[in-house]
């Protein structure tokens, strides 16, 4: 029976253009959606522009035009970019819509009814020139700890100290350059701690999250009380005013995810049905695709909102890593911060879709776009293996037809048909890398068949005409089979293949039966080899784009890619350099006391000796694997220079090192038996 599936990608922010880093996610999602549709499932893919927040308001003010005009212009640019890369949404909406406003009111009323909303007086920095309160990333100054200059408002990138923006020395607004002033405002908060037990169960046991994400949440958030979420912003702010709190506006992180539901409603209004058919239907699977930088919101705050308002929870949150280029963060100065529009001026978007697919797996690993590897992989896999099958054989049968019955092929087509479910399982699990390897193995076998038969040589003998037809019938059916399996990644090639062989690709099962007797049309160019000069020109143009942007933009403008979606939460798998790593001081410690922690399900309280009179109090989430009695007297490895962390149970002054998948399988790192407390571990 076909599945009913609702799929979303994170909403792109309306203050910046789409770049290659964004396209990792939209390509990953689009491939999954196309696969589901090809399998015959009812799959709806919705997204929207994320339009509210300070950045859009400031940009509109600087450009002297209404916010609505700015976001409308950017929405059209986003849609153009998505279309060029074959990202096909069923509905692409806007969070600045009436449907989103109505749903915000509905969900807010649910939170109020559940008594989950509270208010607090908060002191924040205020820009007197922009007349707005400043988010942490819009404040820079001198670190109060190490005195490094030009540091953001929530933490120093040099010494890694965390602090409040009000603690910065000589703070300045990045919006206007003005000196911000402390100002108190009354803001609204949502108490998601009220749903702590539910969130723990959902994140740890529902199967909705990748194991590394579940463990991350357990280690970083669920061991403590969940903090109240600041959900309002005082005027001036571009967004929806809160109906029962005049002068306050919902922070973008309230109305942005609700945009998923609003975009679904827009589709229903146009196509039939209601949002309850999708968001309150237990038979509907909801799948979110997001980057790891917004893990917290989609795995704790958003499920809390959905639960309270009576909506379905996600069946799966698919979280991916960041994009690097040639092993480094995307760089504007090096020309590797590449906009989608710049890429498509020089290179075929199909190249990028396939390259990303060949690198994407089911884990939260970062993906590297190595430009040399990019060129060689496209030239080898797509041009040298896949398209080569069609270009060599279709030309020999152009204007003729495939054989009336399928010829003997030594079991090649049957082998390809048998691979169907393995490839499908890889797509389903978002293990595109595995799927591409399976498909390229089929292409290798098809090319070996053609090389062995050499139909271009047989063609010279008129008596071999039928044999040539049979060889090409086999080869073109193997090519079509591969095109079916690649259709989620390369929809244009699938369409071209259907035209070439007079047999459109409409379903995954098209790979199970060969096509016979169909007319073979003139072969049309499918894909060229990657031109190194075009890659070089793309990088150079990206550098030029930066120069133009910097020349034209106001000096105090926010970065083009900054977005209200981004917060500086701890990141899953965030990159660090070897210089960062060597700062970690690992020491041998002896457990001299171990106790249960009242009110904590997973924590034990340990008193550690690091030699002499040096003692450390540490809370460790290892209760599922160890009893206090097992630990007393044991040597462990501890991170000795970790900033102390205030927990509701007390102060934790270090971290005991352990490894394992979690649950009962948590294994303490044990130093050699001859080690002494305080000894450094190398």
Domain boundary (156, 171, 189) is at 189
Looking at the fold, whether 248 and 149 belong to one and the same domain comes out as no
Domain end residue (candidates: 139, 165, 189): 189
pLDDT tens column, 53-86: 988 998 898 899 999 999 999 999 999 999 999 9
- Which strands form 151-152's sheet, in the order they lie side by side? 151-152, 139-142, 169-173
Which one, of 46, 35, 8, lies nearest residue 317 by Cα? 8
- State the greatest distance between any 2 C-alpha atoms of the chain, in Å, as a whole number: 96
Residues 35 and 10 grouped into a single domain: yes
Residue 626's domain is classified under what CATH number?
2.40.50.140
The tokens describing 300, both together, are 């704790």
Q: List beta partners, residue 655.
A: 639
Task: Pull the structure tokens for residue 440.
Answer: 């390229």
- Pair (165, 204) in one structural domain: no
- Backbone dihedral region of 207: left (phi > 0), alpha (psi from -120 to 50 degrees) or beta? left
Query: How do residues 406-451 score in pLDDT, each as one tens digit?
Result: 999 999 999 999 999 999 999 999 999 999 999 999 999 999 999 9
Q: What's the confidence (pLDDT) of residue 572?
A: 39
444 with 320, same domain?
no
Q: Write down the pLDDT at residue 33.
A: 98
C-alpha gyration radius of the chain: 29
pLDDT for residue 564:
36
Q: What local confidence, expressed as pLDDT, does residue 582 receive?
A: 58
- The SS3 of residue 468 is helix
317 and 453 in a single domain? The answer is no
572 assigned to some structural domain = no
Strand, helix or coil for residue 213: helix
Q: Is residue 200 part of a domain?
A: yes
Determine, yes or no, domain membership for 206: yes
pLDDT at 452: 96
Q: Which pLDDT belongs to residue 573?
A: 41
Report yes or no on 346 lying in a domain. no
Shared-domain flag, residues 77 and 19: yes
Q: Please tell me whether residue 300 adopts helix, strand or coil conformation.
A: helix
- Domain CATH for 95: 3.40.50.620
Partners of 667 in the β-ladder: 659
156 is in an annotated binding site: yes
501 — phi, psi (to 5°)?
Answer: -105, 15
- Predicted confidence at residue 577, as pLDDT, reads 53
Kindly state whether residue 349 falls inside one of the protein's structural domains: no
Is 77 inside a domain boundary?
yes
- Domain end, chosen from 130, 158, 189, is at 189
486/495 Cα distance (integer angstroms): 11
- 163 and 51, same structural domain? no
Say whether both 211 and 319 belong to one domain.
yes
d(Cα 5, Cα 9) in Å, to the nearest integer?
13
Instruction: List, for the chain, all residue ranges whose pLDDT scores fall below the cut of 50.
Output: 549-575
Range of the domain at 458: 394-511
> Do 86 and 124 lie in a common domain?
no
Question: For residue 137, what pLDDT is reported?
Answer: 73
Where residue 150 sits, what CATH number does that domain have? 2.170.220.10
State yes or no: 146 annotated in a binding site: yes
Q: Say whether both 158 and 201 belong to one domain.
A: no
In this structure, the answer to whether residues 317 and 422 fall within a common structural domain is: no
CATH classification of the domain holding 401: 1.10.730.10
Burial classification of residue 593, based on how many CB atoms lie within 10 Å of its CB (0-12 exposed, 13-18 middle, 19 or more buried): middle
542, part of any domain = no
Same domain? For 662 and 590 the reply is yes
Quick check: pTM over 0.75? Answer: yes
Contact by Cβ (8 Å): 19, 340: yes
Q: Is residue 677 part of a domain?
A: no
Instruction: Give pLDDT tens digits for 515-549.
Output: 999 999 999 999 999 999 999 999 999 986 555 54
- How many domains, the chain? 4
């Amino acid at each position: 029976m076909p599945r009913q599936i609702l799929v979303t990608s994170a909403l792109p922010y309306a203050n910046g253009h789409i770049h290659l880093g964004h396209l990792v996610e939209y390509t990953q999602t689009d491939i999954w959606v196309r696969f589901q549709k090809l399998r015959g499932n009812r799959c709806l893919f919705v997204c929207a522009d994320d339009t509210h927040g300070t950045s859009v308001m400031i940009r509109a003010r600087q450009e002297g035009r209404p916010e609505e005009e700015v976001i409308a212009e950017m929405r059209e640019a986003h849609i153009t970019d998505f279309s060029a890369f074959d990202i096909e949404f069923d509905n692409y909406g806007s969070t600045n819509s009436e449907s989103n406003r109505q749903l915000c009111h509905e969900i807010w009323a649910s939170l109020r009814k559940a008594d989950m909303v509270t208010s607090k007086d908060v002191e924040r920095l205020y820009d007197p020139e922009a007349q707005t309160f400043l988010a942490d990333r819009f404040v820079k100054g001198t670190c109060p700890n190490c005195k490094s200059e030009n540091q953001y408002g929530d933490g120093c990138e040099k010494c890694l100290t965390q602090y409040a923006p009000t603690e910065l020395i000589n703070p300045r607004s990045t919006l206007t350059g003005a000196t911000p002033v402390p100002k108190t405002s009354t803001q609204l908060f949502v108490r998601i701690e009220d749903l702590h037990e539910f969130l723990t169960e959902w994140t740890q046991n529902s199967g909705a999250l990748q194991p590394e994400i579940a463990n991350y949440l357990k280690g970083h958030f669920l061991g403590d009380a969940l903090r109240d979420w600041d959900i309002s912003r005082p005027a001036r702010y571009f967004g929806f005013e809160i109906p029962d709190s005049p002068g306050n506006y919902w922070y973008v992180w309230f109305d942005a995810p609700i945009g998923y539901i609003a975009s679904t409603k827009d589709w229903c209004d146009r196509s039939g049905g209601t949002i309850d058919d999708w968001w309150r239907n237990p038979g509907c699977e909801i799948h979110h695709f997001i980057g790891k930088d917004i893990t917290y919101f989609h795995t704790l705050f958003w499920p809390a909102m959905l639960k309270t308002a009576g909506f379905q929870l996600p069946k799966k949150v698919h979280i991916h890593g960041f994009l690097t280029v040639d092993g480094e963060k995307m760089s504007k100065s090096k020309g590797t911060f590449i906009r989608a529009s710049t890429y498509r001026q020089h290179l075929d978007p199909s190249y990028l879709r396939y390259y990303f697919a060949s690198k994407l797996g089911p884990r939260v690993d970062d993906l590297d776009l190595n430009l040399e590897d990019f060129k060689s992989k496209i030239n080898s896999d797509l041009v040298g293996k896949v398209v080569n099958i069609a270009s060599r054989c279709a030309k020999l049968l152009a204007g003729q037809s495939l054989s009336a019955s399928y010829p003997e092929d030594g079991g090649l087509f049957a082998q390809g048909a048998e691979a169907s479910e393995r490839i499908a399982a890889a797509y389903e699990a978002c293990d595109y890398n595995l799927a591409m390897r399976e498909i390229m193995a089929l292409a290798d076998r098809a090319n070996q068949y053609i090389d062995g038969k050499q139909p271009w040589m047989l063609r010279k003998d008129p008596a071999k005409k039928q044999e040539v037809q049979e060889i090409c019938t086999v080869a073109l059916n193997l090519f079509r089979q591969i095109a079916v399996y690649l259709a989620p990644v390369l929809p244009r090639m699938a369409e071209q293949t259907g035209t070439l062989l007079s047999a459109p690709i409409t379903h995954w099962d098209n790979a199970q039966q060969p096509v016979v007797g169909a007319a073979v049309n003139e072969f049309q160019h499918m894909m060229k080899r990657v031109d190194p000069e075009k890659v070089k020109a793309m990088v150079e143009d990206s550098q030029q784009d930066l120069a133009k942007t910097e020349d034209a933009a106001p000096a105090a403008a926010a970065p083009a890619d900054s977005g209200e979606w981004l917060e500086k939460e701890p990141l899953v798998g965030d990159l660090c350099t070897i210089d960062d790593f060597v700062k970690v001081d690992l020491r041998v410690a002896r457990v001299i006391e171990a106790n249960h922690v009242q009110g904590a399900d997973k924590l034990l309280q340990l008193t550690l000796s690091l030699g002499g009179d040096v003692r450390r109090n540490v809370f460790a989430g290892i209760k599922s694997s160890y009893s206090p009695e097992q630990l007393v007297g044991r040597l462990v490895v501890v991170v000795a220079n970790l900033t102390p962390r205030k927990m509701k149970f007390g102060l934790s002054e270090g971290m005991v090192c352990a490894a394992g998948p979690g649950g009962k399988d948590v294994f303490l790192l044990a130093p050699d038996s001859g080690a002494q407390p305080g000894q450094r571990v190398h």
